[in-house]
Amino acid sequence: MSKTTKISFCEKEGKLSIHTYEELAALHAIAKILAQPVDLREQLEQVLQEMSSRLGMQRGMISLVDREKKEVWLDVAHDINIDGLDVTYEPGEGITGKVAETGRPMAVANLGQETHFLDRTGARRHLNRAELSFLCVPIIYDSNVVGVLSADKVAHQVENLDKEIALLSSVAELMAKAVHIRALEEENRRLRKIVGQNRAPSMDIIGHSKAMQEVFGLLAQVSDSNTTVLINGETGTGKELIAHAIHNNSNRKGGPMVQVNCAAIPDTLIESELFGHEKGAFTGALTQRRGRFEEANGGTIFLDEVGELSAAAQVKLLRVLQEKRFQPLGSSRVVNVNVRIIAATNRNLEQDILGDRFRADLFYRLNVFAIYLPSLRERGSDVILLADHFLLKYSSEMGKNVKRISTAAIEVFLNHKWPGNVRELENCIERAVLLSKTDTIDCQHLPPSLQIKEKELDKKDKGTLSSVVESQERALIIEALEETGGNQTKAARKLGTTKRVIQYKIAKMGINTKLFKKRENAVKQ
C-alpha cells in the first residue's frame, strides 16, 4: 500500500473508502476548528474555508433543518454572497431538499446536466456548470437530519464520486454537534417574532414547541367564554401564567383576577378564606371579612393546587359550583356570585378519586375543559428560548452586560431533565448572570447539579475514539451480512469470529438483519 494513503471505513453500505494523508490532515484541522470556544457561525465558516483551501471544495454551503416543518434554510456559505438572501427549500425540493428529506447523500458528476439543481443563490449563474461536480450530504446528529452540507468541485479533479461523498460525509460527521446546536439557536431566532405574537396568548408565555402550540390553540378556544378550566401540569411549568392568560384574553379581563393557593390555607380557615365570615363567627374573627369568591365577583377565581383541598372544603366548593351562591361563615345572608373558575393541580385527580382523596362529582365539575401543560423536558428547544428570555431579564435587573450563553452551557441545558421545570431554569439563569464576570454564561456559572452533567458530557466526548472504532466495526459487520444475505453464521466465519459474538454485536448496534435477507431474495428474483 502507498505511503500516501490510509484506509478508513465509510459506514454507508459498509464499503471501504480511501483517504489520502492530505485529506486526513484536513479532517484533523477541521476537528481542531470545531474544538475552539468561538461563535458557532464563525466555526462553521472556518470549516468551509478549510474545505476550499485544503480539499478543493468550492462554494460550500451549510443549510439547517427546521425540526417541526422540515423546511431547510441556507445558513452559512463560502465563496457565495448570501447577504440579504432568504434561501429555503421545502422537503424534497431540489437536491438539498431531497438530501434533507431522505437522509441520503447525492452526487452530480456534471452539474450542467442536472435538472433538479436549483441554484437559488445564483452563485453559478455565470459559470460553466458542465465543468462542475456537485456533492451534497446530510448532517446527522442523534439519528436525526439536522442540516445539509454541500459543495462544488471542478469535475476533472473528481476521480471517484463515492470517494468524494465519503470525504464530505466525514466532514459532516465532525460538525454534526455544532450544526445541531446552531440549528436550534437559529430556529429560535427566526421564530422569536412569531412566538408570543401570532399565537401565544401572553408575552410572558414563551414557546415554539409543538406541545406549547397545542396549548396556545386550546387557550384561543376557551379564553373568551365562561367555561370552567382545569390546568394539569408538574410544579414549575407555569400554570399560573396560563390562568392569567385565560383571564386577560376573556370578556372578564376588566374584572378582578383572584388567586387562591389551596395548599397554603389550613383546613380550619379554608371556608372563611373562600366564603368570608361575620364578626364573631369564630374565635379571632374580630371584623367582618369578604371571602375570595365574593372578591372575584364579575371576574375570575384561580384555585391553584385544588387537589390539596380537604374533604370538607371540597363539599363547600362543590355547592358553590352547583348553585353559584353561598353563605359566609356565621351569617344568614346569601351571596350570589358571577365568577369564572380556573383550577390547577400537579396531582393525578383521577387516581385520587380511586383512593378516596378527591370527590368524583367535584372533579367532573372542574374538569369541563382540561389543559395539560407539558414539562420542560417535553418542550425540546424551548429551553433555549426561555434561557435567552431569562438572560435578558436578569441582565437588565442586575445592570450587567451578559449577552449570550456558551455552546457548552447550551448543550448542558438540552441534556438536563429539568425536574423543577421552568422555575428551575429561571433560578439557574439568575444565578449564572449573578456569577458571570464577562458577557457570557459558561458551564462554571451553572448550579452544581448541572456542572456534574457537564462533566458527564465531557467524558462522553472523550469516547470519540471508541465511537470511531465501533463505527468501523459496524461497517465490517454490515459488509459481511450483505455478502452472506444476512446469514450470521457465515458472517461470523468471514470475519474470523464466533456466531455468539456477532449476535451480541448485532443486538448492541441495532442492526436489522432482515434487510439483508430481503436484498438477497430480491437478487434471486
pLDDT at residue 145 tops 60: yes
Using the 3D structure, point to which of 344, 374, 404 is the last residue of a domain. 374
Residue 367: CA count within 13 A, CB half-sphere: 14
The model's confidence at residue 191, banded by pLDDT at 50, 70 and 90, is low
Domain end residue (candidates: 430, 459, 488): 459
As for how many domains the chain has, the answer is 4
Return the pLDDT at 5. Answer: 37
Mean pLDDT of the chain: 82
DSSP class of residue 322?
H
Residues forming beta bridges with residue 109, ordered by sequence position: none
205 within a domain of the structure (yes/no) = no
Residues 25 and 169 in one domain: yes
Residue 495 counted as domain residue: yes
Domain co-membership, 282 together with 329: yes
Mean pLDDT of 49-63: 92
**In-domain check, residue 201:** no
Residue with grid cell 471505513, as numbered in its chain: 9
Q: Which of 373-382, 391-400, 484-493, 500-509 has the highest mean pLDDT?
A: 391-400
In a domain, 203, yes or no: no
Q: Look at residues 437, 459, 481 and tell me which one is the last residue of a structural domain.
A: 459
Does some domain include residue 299?
A: yes
Overall average pLDDT of the 507-521 stretch: 66
Rg of the chain in Å (alpha carbons): 31
* 458: exposed, middle or buried (Cβ count in 10 Å: 0-12, 13-18, 19+): exposed
The answer to whether 512 touches 474, Cβ cutoff 8 Å, is no
User: Using alpha carbons only, what angle is made at residue 429 by residues 426 and 430, rounded to the nearest 5 degrees?
Assistant: 85
Q: How far apart are CA 173 and CA 140, in angstroms?
A: 7
517, 488: one domain:
yes
Confidence of residue 136 (pLDDT cuts 50, 70, 90): very high
Does one domain contain both 417 and 495? no
Of 240, 257, 239, whose CA–CA distance to 248 is shortest? 257
Partnered with residue 276 across adjacent β-strands are: 290
Is the CB of residue 34 less than 8 Å from the CB of residue 174?
yes
Contact 488, 502 (CB under 8 A): yes
Residue ranges making up the domain that contains 274: 210-374
Cβ neighbours for 2, distance < 8 A, ≥ 6 positions apart: none
Place of cell 463560502: 78
Strand duo 335-336 + 276-277: pairing: unpaired
Q: What is the CATH number of the domain that holds 471?
A: 1.10.10.60
Q: Give the mean model confidence (pLDDT) for residues 99-126.
A: 86
CATH of the domain at 436: 1.10.8.60
Give the residue, 80 or 459, on which the prediction is more confident: 80
CATH code for position 186: 3.30.450.40
Beta bridge partners of 258: 301
Report d(CA 295, CA 260) in Å as an integer: 11
Give how far Cα 296 sits from Cα of 132, 257, 258, 351, 461, Å: 73, 6, 6, 30, 56
Name the more confident of 8 and 103: 103
Q: How far apart are CA 407 and CA 108, in angstroms?
A: 35
75: in domain:
yes
Pair 69, 95 in one domain:
yes
Q: Is residue 204 part of a domain?
A: no
b/e map of 37-74 (b: 16 or more CB within 10 Å)? Answer: eeebeebbbbbbebbbeebebbbbbbbbbbbeeebbbb
Percentage, residues of the chain above pLDDT 70: 84
Q: Say whether both 431 and 336 belong to one domain.
A: no
- Based on the domain organization, do 268 and 411 belong to the same domain? no
Range of weakest confidence among 51-55, 84-88, 178-182, 385-389: 84-88
Share of the chain above pLDDT 90, in %: 35
- Are residue 453 and residue 351 in the same domain, yes or no? no
Residue 500 has pLDDT above 90, yes or no: no
> Would you tell me how many other CB atoms lie within 10 Å of the CB of residue 89?
24
Long-range contacts of 420-423 (CB under 8 A, 24+ apart): 420/235, 420/236, 421/234, 421/235, 421/236, 421/237, 421/238, 421/375, 421/376, 422/236, 422/237, 422/238, 422/376, 422/386, 423/235, 423/236
Report the CATH number that the domain containing residue 291 is assigned in CATH: 3.40.50.300
Q: Specify if 196 maps to a domain.
A: no
Per the document, the length of the chain is 525
Alpha carbons within 13 A on the beta-carbon side of 287:
3
Rounded to 10 deg, the angle between the 382-398 and 407-415 helix axes is 120
**Whether 168 contacts 206, CB under 8 Å:** no
47, 30 contact by CB (below 8 A) = yes
Q: Does residue 131 sit in the same domain as residue 16?
A: yes
Place of cell 365539575: 365
Predicted pLDDT of residue 193: 46
Q: Which of 476, 383, 489 is nearest to 428 (CA)?
A: 383
Most distant CA atoms of the chain, gap in Å: 103
Q: Which residue has the cell 390547577?
A: 344
pLDDT tier for residue 9 given thresholds of 50, 70 and 90: very low
Q: pTM, whole model, 2 decimals?
A: 0.58
Same domain, 140 and 109: yes
CA 490 to chain CA centroid, Å, is 43
Q: Residue 265: its pLDDT value, please?
A: 83
Tell me, yes or no, whether 16 and 163 share the same domain.
Answer: yes
Question: Are 168 and 287 contained in the same domain?
Answer: no
Own/partner contacts of 285-293, CB < 8 Å, gap of 24 or more, are: 285/329, 285/330, 290/328, 291/326, 291/328, 292/258, 292/260, 293/320, 293/326, 293/335, 293/337, 293/339
